[in-house]
Amino acid sequence: MGDYVFKLPDIGEGVVEGEIVAWHVKVGDSIKEDDQIVDIMTDKATVTIPSPTSGIVTELSGEVGDMIAVGSALVTFSTDGSSNVNQVEKSPEPEVIEEPVIEEEKISQPIAKEIKKPAPKPVELITESKVLVPSSGNTRILASPAVRRRARDAELDLSVVSGSGPAGRIRHADLDAYIAAGGTVTGAPPTSYSTKRNDTNEIKVVGLRRKIAEQMVKSKFSIPHFSYFEEIDVTELEELRQMLNATRDNDQPKLTYLPFIMMALAKIMPNHKECNALYNDENNIVTQYSAVHLGIATQTDRGLFVPVVKHVEAMDIWQSASEMQRVSGAARNGTASLDDLSGSTFTITSLGRDGGLGATPIINHPEVSILGIHKAREMPVVKDGKIVVRRIMNVSSSFDHRIVDGANGAALVQALKRMLEYPALIFM
* Alpha-carbon gap, residue 297 to 108, rounded angstroms: 11
What's the pLDDT at 113?
42
What's the pLDDT at 134?
38
What's the pLDDT at 43?
64
Last residue of a domain, one of 83, 100, 117: 100
Domain span at residue 67 reads: 2-100
How far, CA to CA in Å, does 404 sit from each of 257, 278, 286, 372?
A: 26, 11, 11, 17
Q: Taken in order 301, 306, 310, 313, is the CA torsion positive or negative?
A: positive
* Alpha-carbon gap, residue 33 to 22, rounded angstroms: 19
Residue 18: inside a domain: yes
Letter for the amino acid at 90? K
Letter for the amino acid at 428? M
Residue 126: inside a domain: no
Do the beta carbons of residue 328 and residue 281 sit within 8 Å? no
Q: CATH number, domain at 311?
A: 3.30.559.10
Residue 56: inside a domain: yes
Residues 87 and 235 in one domain: no
Q: At 392, is the secondary structure helix, strand, or coil?
A: strand
Query: How many domains, in total, are found in the chain?
Result: 2
What's the pLDDT at 124?
40
Last residue of a domain, one of 80, 100, 120: 100
Residues taking part in catalysis: 401, 405
- Spacing of C-alpha 383 from chain mean position: 44
Residue 401: inside a domain: yes
What's the pLDDT at 413?
98
Residue 171: inside a domain: no
Residues 237 and 96 in one domain: no
Do the beta carbons of residue 37 and residue 85 sit within 8 Å? no
Residue 308: inside a domain: yes
* Alpha-carbon gap, residue 419 to 292, rounded angstroms: 17
Residue 263: inside a domain: yes
What's the pLDDT at 210?
79
**Tens-digit pLDDT string for the chain (428 aa):** 678 899 988 876 567 888 888 899 999 999 888 898 998 887 656 788 889 889 999 999 888 888 888 888 999 988 886 666 555 444 455 555 444 444 443 444 443 344 444 554 444 433 333 333 333 444 567 777 778 878 888 878 888 887 877 667 788 888 877 877 666 444 444 444 444 555 777 777 777 777 778 888 888 888 999 999 999 999 999 999 999 999 999 999 999 999 999 999 999 999 999 999 999 988 999 999 999 999 999 988 878 899 999 999 999 999 999 999 999 999 999 888 888 999 999 999 998 778 888 999 999 999 999 999 999 999 999 999 999 999 999 999 999 999 999 999 999 999 999 999 999 999 99
Residues 84 and 232 in one domain: no
Q: Taken in order 212, 44, 289, 219, is the CA torsion positive or negative?
A: positive
Residue 132: inside a domain: no
What's the pLDDT at 93?
53
What's the pLDDT at 131?
34
* Alpha-carbon gap, residue 8 to 122, rounded angstroms: 11
Q: CATH number, domain at 69?
A: 2.40.50.100
User: What are φ and ψ of residue 117, in 5° steps?
Assistant: -115, 150
Last residue of a domain, one of 100, 129, 149: 100
Contacts of 406 (CB under 8 A, 6+ apart): 226, 228, 399
